[in-house]
Amino acid sequence: MTDGHRPGTALHRLVLVRHGKAEVGSADGTDHSRALAPRGAGQAASTAAWLAQQGLGEPDLVLVSSALRTAQTWEAMAPALRPGTVREEPELYDTSSSALVHLVAGTPEEVGVLVVVGHEPVISGAASALAGDGSAGRLAAQVLAGVSTGSAVVLQLDVPWRGLQQGAARLVALHSP
């Protein structure tokens, strides 16, 4: 291959994180303004520590939904991780799994590890859609059933970001704090 990629090694890694446990309500009554519960901050810190242990502690790019609870999830994760760039992505708040996949497919090719902090059922839906051959069956079934708050799903891609489509990745790990 001319891109220097060796078969059998991941070209990119995508980490999809569901925000931590949130409070039931918000001061202004909107879902967008729901804050992270103390338990959620602990979940986020646990997930960040796990990501660092897995060698994913220095993501090149982090995309965070504009909702308060996702921003606070990232704030709780940040001390354990050293990202290159962090960007609020308003599209992640009210989106679909296919729109998330389309957004990720627009990632610059130099990004090796991308972390997305978002919401259910989009996180599990996108992970399930992307998981193709080589994905661990038990993990795929767990992700298809939905991921719990604070969880991280790790996918490996052997294709360029622009080649991201259904079945193009391998589901390799799921961490539920």
What is the phi/psi pair of residue 87, to 5°? Answer: -135, 130
Q: Which two tokens stand for residue 5?
A: 């990629």
Domain CATH number, residue 152: 3.40.50.1240
Mean pLDDT by 10 residues, the chain (177 residues): 45 97 95 97 98 96 98 98 96 96 96 98 96 81 92 96 94 95
Q: Is residue 144 a part of any domain in this protein?
A: yes
Q: Which domain holds residue 23?
A: 12-175
Cα-based angle 61, 64, 66 (whole degrees, multiple of 5): 150
Place of tokens 């992640």: 92
Q: Is residue 3 a part of any domain in this protein?
A: no
Give the total number of structural domains in the chain: 1
Q: Is residue 153 a part of any domain in this protein?
A: yes
Helical ranges in the chain per DSSP H: 38-53, 68-77, 97-105, 122-130, 137-144
